[in-house]
């Protein structure tokens, strides 16, 4: 059964929360670089967690177009629908 956008958003936020700087809340508009201070190493660690959690492979060519949590969840939903 396919997950809704809201279900995926909650799961992605749960995966991101431990990686966020102390005191920062994570939501749809959270920017990976500006708000979460992600660098390429943190991005790859997060992508690995997502791949393990959802049993998918995230193509690296998608990453440059992803700025916010919403962008990521929309792409994740599309990837899950393709498998």
Go through the domains of the chain in sequence order and give each one's CATH number.
Answer: 5-19+29-82 (1.10.1200.10)
Would the pLDDT of 1 be above 90?
Answer: no
Q: What is the pLDDT of residue 74?
A: 97
Distant-in-sequence, close-in-space partners of 68: CB < 8 Å, separation ≥ 6: 28, 29, 30, 31, 32
Q: What is the pTM of this model?
A: 0.92
For the chain, what percent of residues have pLDDT higher than 90?
95
Q: What is the pLDDT of residue 37?
A: 96
Q: For residues 46 and 82, which has the higher predicted lDDT (pLDDT)?
A: 46
Cα gap 8→81, rounded to integer Å: 12
- Contact criterion met (CB below 8 Å) for 26 and 17: yes
């Amino acid at each position: 059964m396919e997950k809704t956008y809201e279900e995926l958003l909650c799961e992605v936020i749960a995966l991101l929360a431990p990686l966020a700087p102390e005191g920062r809340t994570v939501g749809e508009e959270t920017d990976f670089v500006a708000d979460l201070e992600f660098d390429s190493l943190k991005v790859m660690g997060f992508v690995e967690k997502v791949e393990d959690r959802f049993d998918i492979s995230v193509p690296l060519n998608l990453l440059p177009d992803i700025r916010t949590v919403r962008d990521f969840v929309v792409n994740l939903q599309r990837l899950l629908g393709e498998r």
